[in-house]
Amino acid sequence: MRVRIGPYRKNRAFKVEIEPHDTWNMDITLAHIIHPMLVQLKETKHGAPMVENSDVPLGMEMSEEAMDKFRNGETDGKFFDRWDWVLDEMIWTFEQYLTDLDKWGMEDEYYSRMSNGFRLFGKYYEALWD
């Protein structure tokens, strides 16, 4: 696979060349692209989406008071931490997918965390911007 992106501007020119072997293990091909992009996004991001309480561990949830403030355009002290946590879970998942495929199905906790990372990736896909 080769991807060429023109100079940065609103309507960037893309040229993507896909070869037959790229779709043989498309999940692996995409993971090789997604993982470093998630790492870079975490390092360079300039914002964050609202992360739902059900997607973070206990202690990171947004309180009712913080939710009211958010509705008025304010964020609480954990707003960006929640997004960092979600990004970390996605990064971990794709890293594991590339390095430890043989572990799949071996440990329930490992499998659950992997599944959750993929779920978070899908749920917050439209928030993957800088």
pLDDT of residue 22: 82
Query: Other CB atoms closer than 10 Å to residue 4's CB: what's the count?
Result: 9
| Residue 119 C-alpha from the chain's centroid | 9
pLDDT of residue 2: 67
pLDDT digit string, tens, across residues 72-115: 999 999 999 999 999 999 999 999 999 876 665 567 888 899 99
Dihedral sign, CA of 75, 81, 85, 90? positive
pTM: 0.85
How much is the average pLDDT of 2-30? 76
pLDDT of residue 111: 87
How much is the average pLDDT of 112-122? 96
The segment with the largest mean pLDDT, out of 8-22, 57-71, 91-105, is 57-71
The closest alpha carbon to 94, from 80, 77, 113, belongs to 113
pLDDT of residue 122: 98
Residue tagged 């060429």 (tokens): 4
Query: How much of the chain, in percent, has pLDDT values that exceed 70?
Result: 86
pLDDT digit string, tens, across residues 44-53: 999 999 999 9
pLDDT of residue 68: 93
| Residue 36 C-alpha from the chain's centroid | 11
Cα 95 to Cα 7, 49, 98, 103: the distances in Å are 29, 23, 5, 13
| Residue 12 C-alpha from the chain's centroid | 23
Q: What is the mean pLDDT of the chain?
A: 89
CA 32 – CA 98 distance, rounded (Å): 7
Cβ-based burial of 120 (10 A; exposed 0-12, middle 13-18, buried ≥19): buried
